[in-house]
Structure 1
Amino acid sequence: MRIALFSDTHGNLPATEAALAAIARARPDQVICLGDVAMFGPQPRETLAAIAALGCPVVMGNTDAWALDPAPTPDADENTVFYETVEAWCAAQLTATDKAQLRAFRPAIAVDLGDGNTLLCYHGSPRSFHEAVRAESSDEELDAIFADEPAILCAGGHTHTAMVRRHRHRLVVNPGSVGLPFALRRDGMAYNPPWAEYALIDYRSPADVAVTLCRAPVDVAQIVQVTLASDMPMADRWLADWSSP
């Protein structure tokens, strides 16, 4: 069984189209989106529509939930004001039909691997779409997060950082981000590199599993073009992170 995972498209349609085209070429048996679909990018409705057309199961992410119930942070700092200004604009673009699609997203998705084992999909962690599971998370932290979860494969997004690691009896996967992947410049500052991230899981048995972290190239010039053509606020600041190392 081949399962494709992608996450955190964040209203970036060119990157979403690049990732979905690459996933289609991989011919997976199942595709799952791990949430944060429309918000914080120049084409929220178009990105949501592209994923809806795919017809795959979608997990509810923290920004998906925010779109349904915007709650500005009181006394927010400059960065939070930036994020919430863009997200408020994105939420305002969504129609009632769009929001109905968001409400259909699920807190978690359990995939039957065909032999009694399970792949558990979530956004941040099994217990919260705000919680982060990281490569550097301790086994003790993950013991608390996963508790008695029996799934032998667990997958989430949220951190925008691709990862595969072992925890106890399971593999934990993060496919990275389609719409806003993170990388570090030589000076240690983060930027958005010119690719969309996703993952492929090839499962035959607990003893025969392969996880591939994948990248699909994206056209940054196209991202710039559609962003400037939109009326998304603070577009110049949003685009500033799409630069070279």
Structure 2
Amino acid sequence: MRVAVISDIHGNDVAFAAALADIEAAQVDQIVCLGDAIQGGPQPAQVVARLRAAGIPTVMGNADDWLLTGADSGAEQIEPERRRRMDDVRDWALTQLAPADREFIAAFQPTITLDLGAGQQLLCFHGSPTSYDDVLLPSTPDAEAEALLGNSAAQLFTGGHTHLQQIRRLGARRFFNPGSIGFAYSHQQDEAGFRADPWAEYAILTADGAHFGLEFRRVPFDVDALVAAYRDGGRPHADAAIEQYRGASS
């Protein structure tokens, strides 16, 4: 069985379309999305339409729950000016979504379990199996990471949230993060010079009985088309978002 694991599209349908074309060429059996699919970028309704058309089961991420509810979990301290900009983008995004779109997002699940055959399961979530706000990084101590995974009988775990492709062994279990479809970036950079990457990241898990293989993939997308979507779509604070891709477009 081949499973394409995607995450963190963040309203970037240009990148999503490029990734799905690559996934189709890879001939997978299943696609699963780990959440934060809609909020942030210039194309929230287009991403909803593509997810729905492709029939992709999707986990609820923190950003999409906040998009629907406006409720702040308090997991991250956000400066007032950044909060104001986030609220502007949220208000705009809600105007782009039809009632049926909002119902579709509200149906995202806290976790998804995929049967890989031969008694193997893949547990899919956003931050951790119990909270979309939990952060699991390569630097997270093993004991803390194992505690975040909980007592599930699954041997394979996948989560998003950090926009960072990674794989690690935790006892007899394996955890991986497929990276971000719509907003990949290097964690080794200063905020003042922040730059987003001009590609979509995802992973393909191949399961054959007790044998497993994992492939991390990086798919370039048309940055000029994304810039046009920001400029033409009316998304607030578009110039600041476009600046994150400076030098990536022609």
Normalised by the length of structure 2, the TM-score is: 0.91
Instruction: Quote the offset at 1:51 in angstroms.
Output: 1.1
Q: Report the secondary structure of 1:113's partner residue.
A: strand
Query: Do structure 1's residue 233 and structure 2's residue 236 form an aligned pair?
Result: yes
CA distance in 1, matches of 2:136, 2:57: 21
Q: Could you give the per-residue CA deviations for residues 142-167 of structure 1, whole angstroms, max 9, x where no partner exists?
A: 12212212211101111111111111
CA distance in 2, matches of 1:211, 1:136: 21
Of the candidates 190, 197, 201, which is equivalent to residue 201 of structure 2? 197
Question: Structure 1 residue runs of 4+, over 4 Å off?
Answer: 72-76, 184-189
Match of 2:223 in 1: 220
Q: What do you get for the CA RMSD once the two structures are aligned?
A: 2.0
Instruction: Quote the offset at 1:18 in angstroms.
Output: 0.4
Match of 1:48 in 2: 48
Match of 1:102 in 2: 105
CA distance in 1, matches of 2:164, 2:78: 29
Distance 1:102 1:226, change over 3 A: same
Match of 2:93 in 1: 90
Q: Report the secondary structure of 2:32's partner residue.
A: strand
Moved more, 219-228 or 80-89: 80-89
Note if contact 1:39-1:91 (Cα within 8 Å) is conserved in structure 2. no
CA distance in 1, matches of 2:190, 2:93: 32
Instruction: Quote the offset at 1:243 in angstroms.
Output: 2.7
Note if contact 1:192-1:242 (Cα within 8 Å) is conserved in structure 2. yes
Note if contact 1:153-1:170 (Cα within 8 Å) is conserved in structure 2. yes
Note if contact 1:6-1:199 (Cα within 8 Å) is conserved in structure 2. yes
Instruction: Quote the offset at 1:80 in angstroms.
Output: 2.9
Match of 1:175 in 2: 178
Moved more, 136-145 or 1-10: 136-145
Moved more, 87-96 or 225-234: 87-96
Note if contact 1:184-1:190 (Cα within 8 Å) is conserved in structure 2. no
The sequence identity of aligned pairs, in percent, is 38
Match of 2:66 in 1: 66
Match of 1:158 in 2: 161
Instruction: Quote the offset at 1:239 in angstroms.
Output: 1.2
Match of 1:25 in 2: 25
Moved more, 146-155 or 172-181: 146-155
Q: Report the secondary structure of 2:117's partner residue.
A: coil
Moved more, 212-221 or 86-95: 86-95
Note if contact 2:129-2:150 (Cα within 8 Å) is conserved in structure 1. no
CA distance in 1, matches of 2:150, 2:178: 22
Normalised by the length of structure 1, the TM-score is: 0.93
The count of corresponding residues between Structure 1 and Structure 2 is 244
Question: What code does the residue aligned with 1:105 have?
Answer: F
